[in-house]
Structure formats: C-alpha cells, structure tokens
Amino acid sequence: MPNFDQRSPLAIIKGVWIRFLSILTNFTFPYFVTVACHRMRGVKVGKKTHICRGAYLDDHSPQLIEIGKGVGITQGVVIICHQRDLTNYRPGMYAIDCPFKLGRVVIKDGAHIGIGAIIMPGVTIGEGAVIGAHSVVTHDIPPYCVAVGSPAKVIRTFGDKEQNKQ
C-alpha cells in the first residue's frame, strides 16, 4: 500500500468518495438506498440483499467484497478485506509499520450475518449459512450451517440425515 504522499490525485479523490459514501450509508433509508451506496463504493451486491445501516463494509478495498442474492447483513456487522501482515514483525518494530495484506470476502446467496459479527479478510461464507451474533469469522464457512463464536465454529448443519431423524 503506497503512502498518502505517493498516491495520485485521482486515487485520493476516489478514496474520499468511498469514505463519503460509507458515512452516508449510516443515514440512508430505506434499505435499498443503503445497498445502492455500497454498490457505488465498489461492493458487488446481489438482488434482494438487505444491508442494515450501521454495518461497516471495508473502506480500504470495498471492491474485494462480493455479496450474493438474498443475503441479510444486520446492524453492527464489520466486513474487512485488509489486515496487517505480521510476517516480518519483530521486537522493537511498530505494528503500524507492517504492510497490509488483502483478502477477498465472498458471502454466497441466502446467507445471514448476525448482529455485530466480524468477517475477516479471505473468507467465503457458503450459501444459506447463518453466522451468529458477535461471531468472528476467520475461515471459510460451509453452506447451510450455523456458525457461532470467536473464532466462529459450525455448531449445526442443515440437511444432515442424522439431524432430520431427531
């Protein structure tokens, strides 16, 4: 990631625009206006997807977020596509001096993300998966399951023959 003084004027204007739209999403109503603002920021959003006001979708690289059709993203959800790369971090260094590493976040059709959940970079959430409130998703989640906790773990899978007998 280049320093601010190394970015072109066009890149700076684009960054300001993305952050302006991010702030605007907190004041939009109804939900489809919020979704439209996220699309203008570069987030790929499918039809019939609801994104609540107060959800934070990465300002650094919103183009790395892909949300399918019929997805529900609730209040306070955080989806980020960048984090510090601590590979070369050593005593005496400042963590803030470590570069960012980027990762695409994909949320497949019909998934539901519970209140206050955090989705980390490089994660794919499977079709129809449900992420519990305040869960931290650090790895891929399979389709049609419920995942909760920090880090999120699958606690139930839908469509399992064993569970259908109960």
Instruction: Indicate which residue of 38, 60, 82, 112 is catalytic.
Output: 82
Which residue, 82, 80, 27, 77, is CA-closest to 49?
77
The structure tokens listed for 105 are 């976040």
Supply φ then ψ for residue 102, to 5 degrees: -105, 155
Supply φ then ψ for residue 3, to 5 degrees: -70, 160
Q: For residue 112, indicate whether it is catalytic.
A: no
Hey, how many other C-beta atoms are within 10 angstroms of the C-beta on 131?
26
CB 65 within 8 A of CB 46: no
- H/E run at residue 145: strand 145-148
Catalytic residues: 82
